[in-house]
Amino acid sequence: MEIEEKIDKVMQSMLGEFPELVRNLFQDTLGLEIEEIDSEKWSIVPRLSMKQEHSMNMGLSNDDWSSLLAMSFSAEMFNLIPGVDGDIELARSGLGEVLNGMGGVLAGNSTIIDAFQELTQAPPMYYANEVLYPKTSSIQGVLVCQGETIDFGWACRSTISPMMRRMLERNKQ
Amino acid sequence: MSKRVLIVDDSTFLAKQIKDFMEKQMSFEVVGLGKDGNEAIALYKELKPDLVTMDLTMPNKDGQEAIKEIMEEFPDATIMVVSAVRGSAMLECMKLGAKGYVEKPLKFADPIFVEDFKKSIEEVLEF
d(CA B16, CA B34): 12
Is A59 within 8 Å of B11 when comparing Cβ atoms? yes
* pLDDT surpassing 80 at residue B117: yes
| Complex-level ipTM beyond the 0.85 threshold | no
Is A31 within 8 Å of B84 when comparing Cβ atoms? no
**For a pLDDT cut of 90, what percent of chain A falls above it?**
0
Helices (H) and strands (E) in chain B, counts: 5, 5
* pLDDT surpassing 60 at residue A64: no
CATH of the domain at B19: 3.40.50.2300
Q: Which helix (H) or strand (E) holds B113?
A: helix B111-126
Highest mean pLDDT among A55-59, A151-155, B50-54: B50-54
Confidence class of residue A24 from pLDDT cuts 50, 70 and 90?
confident
Chain A residue nearest residue B107, CA to CA: A28
Q: In the prediction, which pLDDT does A103 show?
A: 59
Chain A residue nearest residue B56, CA to CA: A129
Is B109 within 8 Å of A31 when comparing Cβ atoms? yes
Nearest-neighbour CA in chain A from B2: distance (Å): 24
Is B13 within 8 Å of A129 when comparing Cβ atoms? no
Q: In the prediction, which pLDDT does A48 show?
A: 27
Range of the domain at B35: 4-126
Per residue in A79-116, pLDDT (tens digit) is: 677 777 877 778 767 776 776 666 566 656 666 666 65
Answer whether A21's CB lies under 8 Å from A154's CB: no
- Structural domains of chain B, count: 1
Q: In the prediction, which pLDDT does B74 show?
A: 97
Per residue in B48-70, pLDDT (tens digit) is: 999 999 999 888 899 999 999 99
**Least confident span in A12-16, A22-26, A165-169, B47-51:** A165-169
Range of the domain at A125: 3-172
**For a pLDDT cut of 70, what percent of chain A falls above it?**
17
Q: Which residues in chain B have Cβ-Cβ distances shorter than 8 Å to A31? A: 108-109
Alpha-carbon distance values, B126 to A15, A89, B78, B99 (Å): 45, 36, 10, 10
Q: Which residues in chain B have Cβ-Cβ distances shorter than 8 Å to A61? A: 10, 59
If phi over 0 gives left and psi between -120 and 50 gives alpha, with beta otherwise, what is residue B6? beta
Q: Which residues in chain B have Cβ-Cβ distances shorter than 8 Å to A97? A: 11, 13-14, 104-105
Per residue in B88-101, pLDDT (tens digit) is: 888 899 999 999 99
- Find all residues with CB under 8 Å of A134, minimum gap 6, and list them: A64, A65, A66, A122, A125
Q: Which of B13, B57, B82, B85 to mutate to test the interface with A (most CBs of A within 10 A)?
A: B13
d(CA B69, CA A133): 32
**From the list A28, A89, A101, which residue is nearest B12 (CB)?**
A89
Q: Which residues in chain B have Cβ-Cβ distances shorter than 8 Å to A101? A: 84, 104-105
